[in-house]
Every structure is written in C-alpha cells, then in structure tokens.
Structure 1
C-alpha cells in the first residue's frame, strides 16, 4: 500500500500503448496496476522497468471480457494498492483483416466482449470506488478508442471500428452520468501507431504502408499516445470531460 500515491489501473498494460501509459503514469507519481490477459512475461517486464525507475507497480492477470475476473482485479487492487483514482481502458483486440461478408458471429462476439463489455465492466467497478456515494473522492477514466470509430476501417476490420464507436458513445454517456460525482471520463483516439497490434490483423508492416496517406507522413509512437492519455489525468484537464483527443497525424 502506498497511501501517498494515487492509484491507476491500466488494462492491457503489458505492451504497446498500455505499457507506455503505465510507465509514464509511474513517472507522474501513480502506483500502477499493469493488467494483462496472457502476456505475464511482458507485464512483468513493464513492472521491472517501472521499479528500476523508482516507481511502484504490480502486474495482475485478468481477462476484461469476463465479469468475475474484472471484479477480482479491482478487489485485488483495493487490497494491494488502495482505492483507485484513475482507470485507463486500453485493453482491446482485433482480428485478421476481413470484409464483413466473411465474418462469423464468434469473431464479432470476441471483439465486442473485450472492446465494449470489458470497458463497461471496468467503468462500473471504477465508479463504485470513485463516487462519493460509495465513499470515494472522485477520479478520472480514459478510454483508448481509435480513429477507426470515425473512419470505419472498410475492408480491414469494420467490427473493430464498430466496437470503438460504441466505446466513444460510452465515453459521452458516462461522462454526463458521473460528472456530478467528480468523475471525469474522456477518450484518446489513436490513429496509425507503431505497435504489435497490426500483426494481430495479419499485416505487421501496415503502419509503413499507410504512412504516405497520413498528413504528417509517418506513423505515431506509443509515447505520443501516452502523453495525450496522461493529459486527461492532469490538473490542466480539470474542466474537461466527455472529450476526445485525436492522436492520428491529422488523418
């Protein structure tokens, strides 16, 4: 327990954007729960890097699409880190590039469970701890969406894009629902970022292929996304809720 530190949970924190957010949050004084699904080794690496930098972090496994595992995750954070102040809903999945006419229900359901049901469950648990009616002192939530919500990802993953559209609507609705509780809810929409996720879609070199079509003529970095995420937790963002930052190179 570190009573002097604010507590943050980063879902999908073992690599990519989540890992970058966890590292930056630690440098900003947060005790961080690095949540992972399967990549325990990668999550442990993030924790070790944070500890080597003088910060405090723990790795916790949980599949955010599973309600019981989400509840256990938050209860363990209560015990080991203390009451949560900040939540980053970063865990997300996509599957191989495919047209809608070729998708089956199992694929679509997998996407929606992790990318929509998961963040909703994590928001529920966070609000139950942050809201004054539950003994909390407010807090902030950032949902990591995607410009796919705006662009639709035709010919690649419309299902993923649709899930991020749902996440954007969650951001708007929840921000209004819990504003009076002192809880701010915002979203960052990354564009084409250098992460391992593109390999999940079947095209590891996707960023370089698309770079010339991006106004800034390059892909983005995970640290650039993490900076935007962490701004929403800063004092400067105190009057900002239900809002979106695009980190997409102008696309």
Structure 2
C-alpha cells in the first residue's frame, strides 16, 4: 500500500511543492486549503494528470472541527494515514511588535501554533500504534526566523515558529515508542507568495545579498527535505530541526 500523507496549506508555496514531491514519491496526498479553491484544484490536477492520487479539502487548521473533517476525508478517500506535513502558516504586514494590531497577533498564533498542535494531535490519534494505528511521520514547517527573531518585521511570527520548534522536540519524545517520528524543517528566505501578504513581494530577492549562497531558496528545495524525512532513510531521525536557509 502507498503511504497516505496530509499536507496542510498545500495549495501554494512550500506546501504545494511538498504535495508534488510526495506524490512523485508514491504518496497519496490530501492537501488542505483555506480560501483559494482554484489554486488547490490546480495542484490536484497536476498530481492526478501525472498518475498520482490527490484530493483537496477546505479546512481552517485552527478549527478542531475542520481538522476532524480533513483527517476523516483523507482516511475515507485515500486510506490509512501514515504522514502529516503541518505546513499551514500565516504572517502579517511587517511592522514592530508595538504597532501590530492584537487581531493580527491572535491570528498568527492561532494558525501557526494552535493549527500545528491540532493537526499533530489528530495525526497522533490516527497513526499511534498504541491507539491502533500503524505508525508514521510528522513534519512541521517552522522558520529560520526563530534564530534571528524578526526584529522590526514580524517578531510575533518568529515567536510562533519558535513554539513549533519546541512542539517538535517534546512531541517527538512523547510518541517515539508509538511508531511516530516528529521532525521540523526550518526554511530561511524562500521565494513564495507569503511575502506579498507581508507587503513586499520582492522581499526574498532583496535579501539575497545577505544570504551566503547569494539567493533565496526555491520551494522545491524545502520539499526535498520534507520528502526525505518521510522515508525510511530517516528512520533514526526524530526530534530534529533542519535549518534550510542558504547558510544564513
């Protein structure tokens, strides 16, 4: 049987790249999206046209009910779930913390932290050998912003991703004996649509001069690491945080 993996936030950027790479590796993939049904359907069509299995489910990851629908649909249409890529994440317009509206702080924390926790919680319920599952792998998508803190731009975003890193370490230890590995990839500056939301679509390339490799990353490069963590080649890897940031 092929592995069955859920990718949250799989309609664009790193999430979409992960869907394509995992499908190419033989995974049946269920991607979640929040608003852009057309973008989600485009990714699904790409996978299906290439001979893979892929479905899309609208879900707000900070909603327990939506997460339940997401996992139940994936199980019913694709089979026993073996993996989760908890990629869904948001940022907000760049500004100092003192100027950020409380609504933006709450939104970023709910999606990036609570959303990751709810997704992982449901994945453990599905995959844990202690609960009747067959084991599996969870990969969170964090950020190298946890290293530099995002001063003047998005301290709240960096803090939310720091919580994801701690979640990785603790959950990995908690479920190691239940057949589940838990790891994180922490991308640096990657050329995706998320910078448009921050108010600077060209931000990734503007930062190229301070990146040792001289350029931002491509979403496919992050997807490669995610895919490896899902394989048996990573069978002794859990609780790890992989920074993929071009040397920054």
TM bracket, shorter-chain basis: over 0.9
Q: TM-score, normalised by structure 1?
A: 0.97
Report Cα offsets for 1:154-196 as digits up to 9, x if no partner.
0100000000000000000000000000100000000000100
Q: Indicate yes or no: 2:188 matched with 1:191.
A: yes
Cα distance in 1 for partners of 2:178, 2:44 equals 32
Counterpart residue number, 2:206: 209
Asked if residue 224 in structure 1 is aligned to residue 246 in structure 2, the reply is: no
Could you tell me which residue of structure 2 aligns to residue 100 of structure 1? 97
The answer as to 2:29 corresponding to 1:32 is yes
Match of 2:117 in 1: 120
The 5 Å alignment of 1:33-182 reads: 33-182=30-179
> What is the rounded CA distance, in whole Å, between the counterparts of 1:27 and 1:160 in structure 2?
31
Which ranges of structure 2 fall in alignment gaps of 5 or more residues?
none
Moved more, 90-99 or 229-238: 229-238
- Helix, strand or coil for the counterpart of 2:237? coil
Deviation at 1:104, TM superposition (A): 2.4
| Alignment partners' CA distance in 1, 2:227 and 2:166 | 21
Distance 1:95 1:103 in 2: 9
Whole-Å Cα distance in 2 between the matches of residues 38 and 21 of structure 1? 19
1:239 is matched with 236
* Superposition misfits of 4+ residues, deviation over 3 angstroms: none
Could you tell me how far apart the structure 2 residues matched to 1:103 and 1:42 are?
Answer: 29
Which sits farther off after the overlay, 157-166 or 74-83?
74-83
Q: Which moved more, 1:10-19 or 1:65-74?
A: 65-74
Unaligned runs of 5+ in 1: none
Q: Distance between the aligned counterparts of 1:233 and 1:78, measured in 2?
A: 18
> How many pairs align?
248
Q: 1:149: how far off?
A: 1.1
Distance in 1, matches of 2:177 and 2:20, equals 30
CA distance in 1, matches of 2:66, 2:126: 17
Q: 1:81 Cα deviation (Å)?
A: 1.1
User: What TM-score results when the alignment is normalised by the length of structure 2?
Assistant: 0.99
Q: Secondary structure at the match of 1:187?
A: strand
Q: What are the Cα deviations for residues 136-168 of structure 1, in whole angstroms up to 9, with x where unaligned?
A: 111000000000111101010000000000000
Question: What is the alpha-carbon distance in structure 2 between the residues aligned to residue 14 and residue 81 of structure 1?
Answer: 18
